[in-house]
Structure 1
Amino acid sequence: MKHSAWAIIVATIPAQAGVTEFGAGIDQSVWRLTADTQIECRLEHPIPSWGSGMFVARAGNKINLDFELHGLRAQARTQSVTLGSMPPSWRPGVAGRDLAQLRFYQQFDGLVDGQTAWTMLDELEGGRMPTFQYRDWYRQNNAVRVSLSNVNFRVKYQAFVDCMNNLLPYSFDDIAFTILTYEKNSDKLSAASRRRLAMIGDYLKADPSIDVVVINAYTDSFGGRWTNQQLSEKRAESIKAFFTGLGLDAGKISVEGHGEKKHVASNEEESGRSKNRRVVISMERSSNI
């Protein structure tokens, strides 16, 4: 077990005998941008002899940020954890402050989300050190402090911000199930569905973990049954060609044309028939990004 190279004294988390400190010293502090895509941004910081911490932002239509604290040992029990912000050792006399009271759960990594995670980034940018304090079951319930160093943070932080600004404004869940509709007696998508398919295409280009795509095509009941069956198959194959054109392995794509079967609306009016002229796309992926 290796202690950090500096002593930490915080007004809001009083110093006491028997507290074990973990954190990167000045010559150890490293920040790495370990994911830089339109799907995920990840800024990681190794914590010597303890584990690592990382900020993670993912594609989606909401402002999102998580901080994940990964220990070499799993959490032995569910317990309360104090998150504070401390000055570096070269700023003596500056008081620390509490940021939040958290709950870390047994067998799970520590998680900080929402505004508190953004606050941690702000503290690091301001030259302070977010610090977690808890009672460690592995060390006879003695107090442990785990700190993030601000040394070498700012350069990689700017790259992390740039990555977040490039995230797609929708997630896998937003496009995993899609219904596309068609113009009458045609394999041409409606204008709204063309925009939707383009959005799916942008996501597929950025996420290589998509490994199952199921395409089911349907028609309304106008026209001959055999003609409609062929039309549904043509629509399904057209969507498959779109996906393979993006580089998706054809072996991952399943297509089926159902013709006039399984209507979802009445065929008596055009509004209902337009709903029946559809392709349903379902996707799965191998990793939970």
Structure 2
Amino acid sequence: MLKLFIAALLVSSPLFAEEFQAPVTDTNWQVIESPLECSLMQTIPSFGKAGFYRRNGQPLQLTFDTDNQPAENSHVSFEMSAAPWQNTEEFDTLKRIPTSSGQRQFQIEGPLAQQALVKMQDGRFPIIRYRSQAYADEITVKLSTIKFSDSLPAFQQCLNNLYPDSFSDIRKLTVYFESERTNLDKASLQALTRVAEYVKVDDSVSQITITSHTDSFGRKRLNVPLSEARAKTIRDFFVGQYEIPAEKIIMRSFVDHDPAATNKTAKGRAYNRRAEIELIR
């Protein structure tokens, strides 16, 4: 009777606490390198993957992504193991973060992620603990340090070579023109160069719009071609200097119909003699 009771209990109850970690004999790190993102990830069987990720213009992240261990409404604890030479089973807690039901990604970023990366070079490894919907108690997920030192240099080189501007940094730009002029000054050329160089490395940019404007002074029959010429100057810079496909560039002209400031003052008119550049994904 006791055996039947235990068997029934095992069938009807959730599985007990579990630990997930890449096997010692089959631990591999995958490094992805590009001018816009770097990742150093490890597959963890029956859990998913974990590792470090950084997008240009954003902080470093330590992330754990699970395919089949969604969280309960509780919290996840990010910890670091002790170093092998410390001869202790104690762990340092980096941060505890609330979790929501069904959550499949857990991450910390910035200084905490950087701290974890540095400590891994001393043989310590990140751990997360949280309540999974599949188990009665907390589960533990460990990021192995095996072969870490082999892949780290490529990841660090990628971090050092990340493009300095992010899409949000570069997405919108306004350049200004002197009265009745279409030429670009030094500051405008430098700003447009940043945009062009970013477009060359980010394949997700599908379109560049150039919207040109004039102030309200001067005859309209002269301001229309003036406004169009300003947009064309910028388009020619992108195409001629950086070989950006012309079909990727859309030009529009509002002449003086969409002023950014009043046309009644010299300062206001200077703001209105402009071209607005926007990148679209």
TM-score of the pair, normalised by structure 1: 0.82
Pick the aligned partner of 2:236 from 241, 246, 255: 241
Pick the aligned partner of 1:41 from 38, 46, 51: 38
Whether 2:271 is the aligned partner of 1:271: answer no
Whether 2:140 is the aligned partner of 1:145: answer yes
The range that moved more, 42-51 or 267-276, is 267-276
Using the alignment, how far apart are the partners of 2:24 and 2:237 within structure 1?
51
Pick the aligned partner of 2:87 from 84, 93, 96: 93
Give secondary structure in 1 for the equivalent of 2:217: coil
Pick the aligned partner of 2:172 from 143, 157, 177: 177
Whether 2:256 is the aligned partner of 1:260: answer yes
Residue aligning to 1:26 = 24
* Long gaps (5+) in structure 2: 1-14
Q: Does the aligned pair in 2 maintain the 1:82–1:98 contact within 8 Å? A: no
Runs (4+) of structure 1 exceeding 6 A deviation are none
Residues paired across the two proteins, number: 264
Displacement of 1:151 = 1.1
Whether 2:123 is the aligned partner of 1:123: answer no
Change (3 A) 1:227 1:108: farther
The AA in structure 1 aligned to 2:20 is: F
Where do 1:91-240 residues align within 5 Å?
A: 93-99=87-93, 100-105=95-100, 106-139=102-135, 141-240=136-235
Using the alignment, how far apart are the partners of 1:213 and 1:74 within structure 2?
42
CA RMSD of aligned residues (A): 2.3
Q: Does the aligned pair in 1 maintain the 2:41–2:52 contact within 8 Å? A: yes
Displacement of 1:153 = 1.0
The AA in structure 1 aligned to 2:17 is: V
Rg larger in structure: 2
* Long gaps (5+) in structure 1: 1-16
Displacement of 1:108 = 4.3
Identity %: 30
Q: Does the aligned pair in 2 maintain the 1:53–1:69 contact within 8 Å? A: yes
After superposition, what is the alpha-carbon deviation per residue over 1:221-246, rounded to whole angstroms, capped at 9, x for unaligned?
Answer: 33321221111112212322333453
